[in-house]
Amino acid sequence: MTGSCGVLSTLVLWALCSLQSCQAGAPSSGNGNVGGHLNGTLLFDSPGHGGSHSLRNCSCAAEIQDCDEALANLLCSCRTVPRSTLPPGGLRMQGGGLTVWVREQWVLRELLNGSAVQDLRLSACSHSPFPPAQPIALFGLQRLRLRAAHQGAAHPEQILNIVTATERGRGKGRPSPSSSTAPPFLVSFLDVALLNGLSPLKAYSVSSPPVPSLAQHFPHLPLPPQTDPDAQPQPQQDCLLTFIY
Ligand SMILES: *[C@@H]1O[C@H](CO)[C@@H](O)[C@H](O)[C@H]1NC(C)=O
Ligand SMILES: *[C@@H]1O[C@H](CO)[C@@H](O)[C@H](O)[C@H]1NC(C)=O
Ligand SMILES: *[C@@H]1O[C@H](CO)[C@@H](O)[C@H](O)[C@H]1NC(C)=O
């Protein structure tokens, strides 16, 4: 299913092929209150440590309840990173989970937008809702967990797994004819209003031609900058675009 396809007019067809690529749902396990990846990275903007001017960067060996900064400061190894030193959209997480507690919008816009992260947990910690905004772009995203600030929200916790056709074929034990091709380069667009927990998470994926021709046809699509070798797909690597809204 991940053949190469150079013509953009086939996008719609590919969309039909790829409709099954996402598996969204509510979490099935009962540990909804416990946030954070064990031994993963935890980032949050902290009123106690400079608020909108800095970020706390923690490594936690224990699971920390979402938005409990006092506990994070106590149980994790944390340091303060000045906002001015953060490269915009420059997070490059090679394996390992990333948890981000979001109080202020800049964390989404400046820190996350354009970042490469495989396993992301985003928790809203502000009690005022997130206003409608442009979506943020994430590269390489395979697993997303969103947690709303209000326990009483209609959809307090939502999960999305992005499964590529190559992986699906492997799981079924019958390799598809194209199983030798590289897995696609993953690009996701996330509507951050989902963090309000008011609507069920929906997603669809579209297989697309490799990034260079994609950028040609959609010049304003936030694709990885050419200057960033870490986040660059191979020139001939197909893309899988996932819209999460
Ligand atoms: C987390 O790190 C600690 C100390 O480095 C280690 O003992 C523990 O096994 C790790 N836990 C996981 C789940 O990786
Ligand atoms: C957080 O700290 C880790 C470990 O020191 C480092 O590798 C990473 O780049 C830091 N991230 C940010 C956003 O400062
Ligand atoms: C994310 O970045 C893209 C372009 O780099 C921009 O169009 C979009 O508005 C940004 N999203 C937010 C929420 O700032």
Q: Where are the domains of the chain?
A: 17-23+36-225+233-244
CA of 88 from ligand 3 middle (Å) equals 11
Q: What is the pLDDT along the chain (245 residues), one digit of tens a residue?
A: 333 333 333 343 344 334 434 566 655 443 434 455 667 899 999 877 766 789 999 999 888 999 999 999 999 999 999 999 998 887 888 777 899 999 998 999 999 999 999 999 999 998 888 888 889 999 999 999 999 998 789 999 999 999 887 776 665 555 445 544 678 999 999 999 999 999 999 999 999 888 888 888 888 877 776 666 666 777 788 899 999 99
pLDDT computed for residue 87 by the predictor: 84
Atom of ligand 3 nearest to the CA of 192: 13
Number of Cβ within 10 Å of residue 71's Cβ equals 14
- Which ligand 3 atom sits closest to the C-alpha of 105? 13
Count of residues in the chain: 245
Ligand 3, CB within 6 Å, residue ranges: 108-109, 113-114, 133-134, 136-137, 222
The span from the CA of 100 to the CA of 120, in Å, is: 8
Report which protein residue has its CA nearest ligand 3's atom 7: 222
pTM exceeds 0.85, yes or no? no
Ligand 3 atom closest to the Cα of residue 113 is 1
Here the contacts of 182-185 (C-beta below 8 Å, separation 24 or greater) are 182/234, 182/237, 183/2, 184/2, 184/237, 184/238, 184/239, 184/240, 185/139, 185/140, 185/210, 185/211, 185/233, 185/234, 185/237, 185/238, 185/239, 185/240
